[in-house]
A and B are shown apart, each in its own frame.
Chain A
Amino acid sequence: MIDFVVHGAFMLYAISFMMGLATIFTWVERKQSALMSDRIGANRCYIRVPFTDVRFVAWGLFHAVADGGKLLLKENFTPATYDRVCYNLGPWLASVPVLLLFAVIPFGGTLTIGDRSYAMQVAQLDAGILFVLAVSGIGILGIMLAGWSSNNKFSLLGAARAASQMISYEVAMGLALISMVVTYGTLDLGAMVRWQSQLLAGAIPAWGIIVQPIAFVLFVTACIAENKRIPFDLPECESELVAGFFTEYTSMKMGLFFLSEFIAIAVVSALTVTLFLGGYNLPWMTDAGFEFPGGATWSMPRWALVVLQLGTFSVKTFLVGCFMIHVRWTLPRFRYDQLMAFGWKFLLPLAALNLTVTVIARWLAL
């Protein structure tokens, strides 16, 4: 019974964490881009206390709520000729896998209740990385279905672009991930986080970004490409294809694509944190507490440690997501041939080279 309650709580936390973070990222995207270009940004939406003139603006945070409400209330327009099944299936196939991805990501250390201990993740899979790669591949299907079933040139072009781009960049991402797997010697994401809390040379935390900096750059680049964000937003570029693969979608179907894009930012931020930035741990922190390089230790109560780990993971994920939004508002877009050339001629050889060097170093270390 207690198992059921705890795992249910984990699932609830995971889903609300993802959805909440995605909602906040829509606000961050507006506000951060505004600050970067000397504007003010979203600040109009407010909630008024009834019968008074007291208004809560909350720096424009309610704009996300207003957007959701607006999308729900819009007319559900469908094109005259469309494939009914595929058209309705597309948004779900695009948005469910990104939510599923978070199931294997550990968002905290070990939770101990009574004499039982639970690893704080929804599904403690031994093959977590493989699950990530497999499920993130399903998202392409939804986009292909959406683009093809809309019976529209722009949608089809966007879908074709999305498919070729995501498949191309998944290769580089997979190779970067394999080099991380070789480094950590495990496929389990929780074990990877525990590996990262050991120390290099007795002082530096062995985070993935320090052990494998090239893999970090490759992974983040490929993740931005997987998310179809600028500078890789060819599938939905507004200036050429109206909205790419979801041109013909309206109301909450379009909202699902929109939301899945922001959930995807949150998920790949969480993945980056888990793989490269020490996961839920602060530097010199383990499940037992802090162990500083001088030999000093600071053990905390169990509940405080769990809360600290949850908070650390949230803040790290938020900051990585902000970095991705920062990249999106800084770089101009690639041309399509440049995109393909960048993926196949630069990222893939670099990833292969990185993997080779990693394997040789690992073989020599054994």
Chain B
Amino acid sequence: MSGARPSQGARSPPGSAARSSDRGEHTSGPATRKRYWNEPVMGLWERVYILEVIRGLWITGSVLFGNLGKWMSGRKGALTAYYPEETRSDYSPNNRGRHVLTQRPNGEVQCISCNMCATVCPAYCIEILSKADFNDPAHPKAPERFEIDYSRCIFCGFCVEACPEDAIRMVKDVPNLPGFDRQQMWGKIDLLKLWHPLTDPRKRYPSPPGSPSERAS
């Protein structure tokens, strides 16, 4: 390799004398090879190749044996997470990944199955089957099934904002998504079976005038 080759910063604009001499310099090499402006400059160390191969093997080998030692001694060497069993450490502590239905003081679900969350949901993943109970004139309508299809949910939180009764909230959690077949992901959580009664929510919403809590009791 010729030492007279100009460095990248000192390269002259096209058409100048330096360019033509640069071109003339390489007529001895393979004539059809296009020369790129960012062609790597290789010293003798890289050209010998076997030395760089040994260096590369050394680098990967040190990583391998480091991780092998950690693996054999039961520590974790991997940067990846052991997915469903292990929660990723880089989730935000404020990540809201799980829906809960709130309940009235008497333990009933607060939802009135108005379908507003299902309407506003951009992913169409909320499915509500309602039932009527005319013995309770304050809440004649209640959900019989309240399902969220977590295979489609995008965790936008619109359902929480749309709810007129504060019946659905999202809590600081990581969704438990994986399943062994599609049926387990489709309609992942029947919130009425698995619902987490939020009797003592950390954030109290102001009670609307007319005190619905008194009506509930």
Contacts and interface: CB of A to CB of B under 8 A. Distances in A.
A330 B80 contact: no
B6 interface: no
Q: Which 8 A-B pairs have the closest CB atoms?
A: A35-B67, A38-B79, A330-B60, A40-B78, A36-B64, A330-B56, A36-B60, A39-B80
A340 B98 CA distance: 58
Interface of B: 50, 53, 56-57, 59-61, 63-64, 67-68, 71, 77-80, 82
A329 B60 contact: yes
B57 A327 contact: yes
Given A34-B78, A35-B71, A39-B79, A326 B64 contact: yes
9 contacts: A36-B60, A39-B78, A39-B80, A40-B78, A40-B80, A40-B82, A330-B57, A331-B53, A331-B56
Interface of B is mostly: helix
A217 interface: yes
Nearest to A41: B78
B78 A38 contact: yes
Contacts, number: 40
A38 B77 contact: yes
Contacts of B64: 32, 35-36, 326
B57 A36 contact: no
A207 to B, nearest CB: 20
Contacts of A327: 57
Interface in A180-221: 217
Contacts of A37: 63
B77 A35 contact: yes
A331 B55 CA distance: 11
A80 B57 CA distance: 45
Contacts of A326: 57, 60-61, 64
A38 B78 CA distance: 4
A12 to B, nearest CB: 33
A43 B59 CA distance: 25
Nearest to B83: A40
Nearest to B80: A39
